[in-house]
């Protein structure tokens, strides 16, 4: 791990009640094993030519963080190398804000047969760079909400990468914001296409309640206060005010809450990180943003075999002379 002179580590604050809770315990081991198997098979569908060259000597490699970001994706990184018979020794816990200054931060050490380490290298880097990028942006948004002393929740959406949703949703939690529904089965959300096809909001909610029962929340996407009030009267649990500008959102949310105080009001559509604070208000409970999993910058990590006389930091070439 780099010295304090060369790096700064800012730990995610946690209260004492959370001390025994580990986000990685949310992830089903069978599910992640299946995901990892597909990823590894995609990256090496036939011969491992590079593995033939390096063989099966036991080696160690270092994971180096080269740009600022919140470390996330650890359970998936672990699972990739466990599948390959390697061990991972983390130098820094997940959720830490890494801020390299003069040199990269040694984040983890992977040990195992060298060809197995290299089989997992790119797949693991793809996970850790993307997950950490999502968590970093999520942390900034969580900090905005905390700074505004807002009571509600900033949330992701279902706008995720096919086959990568579990990693992305987990990264949102590491960053400190909500995931929203995980999939179509997690909550009943009736959007405009559902309403138009069903005929009207009242009928759509009635039909949804018949199959969802008491244990499944119903959310309705609304484009006006009138639609939101109809949804609330029909028995919806959450109304989403879609594409409302802040000046229209807050009076609409207040009117809905005055009539139906138990209803959760969500704002969604067109919200950016730099405008997030404008959508926070006393009558808005949720703000969801697609950019949480679509508009983030990845964190730069590298992965190098440790060898005497070799510099794993891989400095940039300044001149060929």
Query: Looking at the chain, which runs of residues are DSSP E strands?
Result: 7-10, 58-65, 69-70, 87-90, 97-100, 105-113, 153-155, 188-190, 218-222, 238-242, 264-268, 286-288, 301-305
* Cβ neighbours of 207 (radius 10 Å): 15
**73 within 8 A of 296, measured Cβ to Cβ:** no
Euclidean distance between CA atoms 109 and 88, whole angstroms: 6
Helices and strands (H and E) in the chain: how many: 10, 13
Euclidean distance between CA atoms 120 and 148, whole angstroms: 42
**40 within 8 A of 83, measured Cβ to Cβ:** yes
The residues assigned a catalytic role are: 159
Q: Which residues partner with 10 through β-bridges?
A: 97
Nearest to 31 by CA among 147, 166, 155: 166
């Amino acid at each position: 791990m780099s010295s304090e002179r060369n790096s700064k580590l800012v730990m995610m604050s946690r209260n004492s009640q959370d001390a025994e809770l580990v986000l990685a315990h949310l992830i089903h081991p069978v599910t992640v094993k299946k995901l990892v198997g597909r990823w590894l098979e995609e990256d090496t569908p036939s011969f491992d030519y590079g593995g033939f060259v390096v063989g099966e000597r036991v080696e160690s490699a270092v994971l180096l963080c080269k740009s600022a970001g919140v470390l996330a994706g650890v359970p998936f990184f672990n699972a990739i190398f466990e599948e390959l018979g390697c061990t991972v020794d983390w130098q820094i816990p997940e959720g830490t804000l890494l801020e390299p200054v003069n040199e990269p931060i040694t984040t983890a050490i992977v040990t195992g047969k060298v060809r197995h380490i290299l089989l997992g290298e790119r797949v693991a880097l793809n996970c850790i760079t993307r997950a950490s990028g999502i968590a970093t942006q999520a942390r900034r948004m969580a900090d905005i909400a905390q700074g505004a002393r807002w009571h509600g929740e900033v949330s992701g959406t279902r706008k995720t990468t096919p086959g990568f949703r579990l990693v992305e949703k987990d990264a949102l939690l590491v960053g400190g914001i909500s995931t929203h529904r995980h999939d179509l089965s997690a909550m009943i959300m009736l959007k405009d296409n559902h309403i138009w096809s069903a005929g009207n909001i009242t009928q759509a909610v009635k039909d949804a309640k018949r199959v969802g029962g008491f244990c499944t929340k119903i959310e309705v996407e609304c484009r006006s206060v009138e639609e939101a009030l109809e949804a609330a009267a029909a028995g919806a649990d959450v109304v989403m005010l879609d594409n409302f500008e802040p000046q229209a959102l807050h009076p609409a949310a207040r009117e809905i809450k005055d009539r139906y105080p138990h209803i959760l009001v969500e704002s969604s559509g067109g919200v950016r990180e730099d405008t997030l604070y404008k959508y926070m208000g006393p009558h808005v409970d949720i703000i969801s943003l697609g950019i949480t999993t679509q508009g983030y910058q990845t964190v730069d990590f590298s992965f190098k075999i440790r060898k005497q006389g070799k510099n794993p930091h891989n400095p940039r070439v300044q001149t060929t002379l």
